[in-house]
Amino acid sequence: MQNGAMPQRIDSTALADGTEIAYGVVGSGPVLMYVPGWLTHLELSWALPDERDFYQMLAKNRTLVRYDKAGCGLSGTSSRAPSMELELETLHAVAAAVGADRYEMLGVSLGAPVAVAWAASHQDDVTRLVLYGGWVRGHDLTSPETRAHLLGLIAQHWGLGSDLLAEIFAPDADTATREAFREYQRAAATPERARAMLELAHRIDVSDLLGAVDVPTLVVHRERDRATPLAQAEALAAGIPSASLAVLAGRDHLPYIGDALGLATCVRGFLGLPPAQRPVESALTPRQHEVAALVTEGLTNREIAARLSVSERTAESHVERIRIRLGFRSRAQIAAWVTAGGPDRMASLRQARH
């Protein structure tokens, strides 16, 4: 890639009932399976600068495999309600699709208890296990009253629900990143699916499985995580025989907000890898920034051409060059990147280098 970014290859597989599951592959080397949290969208997450940076830091010297769960992002819809069984079936399908026999595993948020359940019954497959922002019993995450209020808000007003969750998951994110995350959540799933996934998060209980996890394990948690109490990480580490606990500063639940570099370095160190380094992005030209902003307004190539007094073919060429330079597949990713403050972030990085 022109900007040194790792390309993300997106493919798909299917569950036994035919539900399509999209997965993304980044990097090269031994496989690191990323078990996702609540809601995901492979394309839009790759467009958010901070989130993509985090994945690229993990993917250095590794083949990072991520996926969208049924009813989320690029994956197909499903009439099946979210459950641990569906989570494990999806994980199995993706591992089989990429041909991974042995792999490291990183479970994030809801993905942490799912990874525990997987590792407990697949000792020969998982070589190392990392659990970030996870829990043992979802019932202990918050009070019944708070849980009922949040679930009701998501069902009745997904916009307000996503706003509240952005405050909980990423309190230290800047305004642009938080707005992009709100839009990302709403694009990732319907309110019905989002509510059902959050219900699963609060229903899950892996307390009976911890003792069966017999692989080297790192439990890593931010000290003041606003979504998941530190006590849950301590319980995970205490219950898994081979686990160690690393407590990092911060209160953001999303791994790529806050000190993402420190978190990635912690994970990489446990995997026997060098410290993380932030990827370097090359800047767009002033004209490309202008075109990216017009894409974000929803303009077609013809409308961009009219606005800039250029030919439609020239406008199309600008959009294609932006897409290639940023490592994107779609106009929606360009729009998400602009919304998340990508241009401003590039400018600040250039100023820091000079």
Domain boundary among 270, 303, 336: 270
Same domain, 136 and 235: yes
Contact (CB, 8 A) for 327 and 46: yes
Cα 52 to Cα 329: distance, rounded to the nearest angstrom: 14
Give the 3-state secondary structure of residue 238. Answer: helix
With helix as H, strand as E and coil as C, how does 100-139 read? CCCEEEEEECCHHHHHHHHHHHCCCCEEEEEEECCCCEHH
The confidence score (pLDDT) of residue 177 equals 81
The confidence score (pLDDT) of residue 180 equals 82
| Distance set, CA 315 to CA 227, 309, 342 (Å) | 44, 10, 20
What's the CATH number where 319 sits? 1.10.10.10
| Domains in the chain, number | 2
Q: Please enumerate in sequence order all residues whose Cβ is within 8 A of that of 338, keeping only pairs 6 or more positions apart, or say none.
A: 292, 293, 295, 296
The confidence score (pLDDT) of residue 352 equals 44
The residue length of the chain stands at 354
- Is 34 part of any domain? yes
Q: Please report the sign of the dihedral spanned by the C-alpha atoms of residue 10, residue 258, residue 219, residue 164.
A: negative
What's the CATH number where 97 sits? 3.40.50.1820
Domain boundary among 239, 270, 301: 270
- Is 187 part of any domain? yes
Contact (CB, 8 A) for 310 and 151: no
Contact (CB, 8 A) for 44 and 336: yes
Same domain, 18 and 154: yes
Closest-CA residue to 217 (of 206, 225, 227): 206
- Is 251 part of any domain? yes
The confidence score (pLDDT) of residue 225 equals 96
Cα 293 to Cα 295: distance, rounded to the nearest angstrom: 5
- Is 162 part of any domain? yes
Same domain, 171 and 213: yes
Same domain, 143 and 63: yes
- Is 281 part of any domain? no
Closest-CA residue to 100 (of 108, 92, 90): 92
Same domain, 93 and 44: yes
- Is 203 part of any domain? yes
Structure tokens that stand for 201 in this block? 């998060």
Query: Could you identify the residue written with the tokens 């597989």?
Result: 13
Same domain, 145 and 226: yes
Domain boundary among 223, 246, 270: 270
Contact (CB, 8 A) for 227 and 255: no
Structure tokens that stand for 255 in this block? 């791994």
Same domain, 121 and 39: yes
Alpha-carbon 335 to chain mean position = 18
Same domain, 147 and 290: no
Cβ count within 10 A of residue 21: 25
Cα 98 to Cα 275: distance, rounded to the nearest angstrom: 26
Angle at 167 between CA 153 and CA 144, to 5 degrees: 45
Contact (CB, 8 A) for 38 and 109: yes
- Is 1 part of any domain? no
Structure tokens that stand for 158 in this block? 């997904």
Same domain, 212 and 242: yes
Same domain, 344 and 245: no
User: Whole-prediction pTM value?
Assistant: 0.84
How would you write the pLDDT of the chain (354 residues) with one tens digit per residue?
Answer: 334 568 899 999 999 999 999 999 999 999 999 999 989 999 989 988 889 999 999 999 999 999 999 999 999 999 999 999 999 999 999 999 999 989 999 999 999 999 999 999 998 999 999 999 999 999 999 999 989 998 998 988 888 888 888 889 999 988 878 888 888 888 999 999 999 999 999 999 999 999 999 999 999 999 999 999 999 999 999 999 999 999 999 999 999 999 999 999 999 999 999 999 988 766 678 888 888 889 888 999 999 989 988 888 888 888 888 887 777 878 888 888 888 877 665 554 444 444
Helix intervals (H) in 60-83: none
Cα 152 to Cα 106: distance, rounded to the nearest angstrom: 31
Query: Could you identify the residue written with the tokens 């020969």?
Result: 124
Same domain, 325 and 257: no
Same domain, 181 and 84: yes
- Is 2 part of any domain? no
Which residue range(s) make up the domain with 113? 8-270
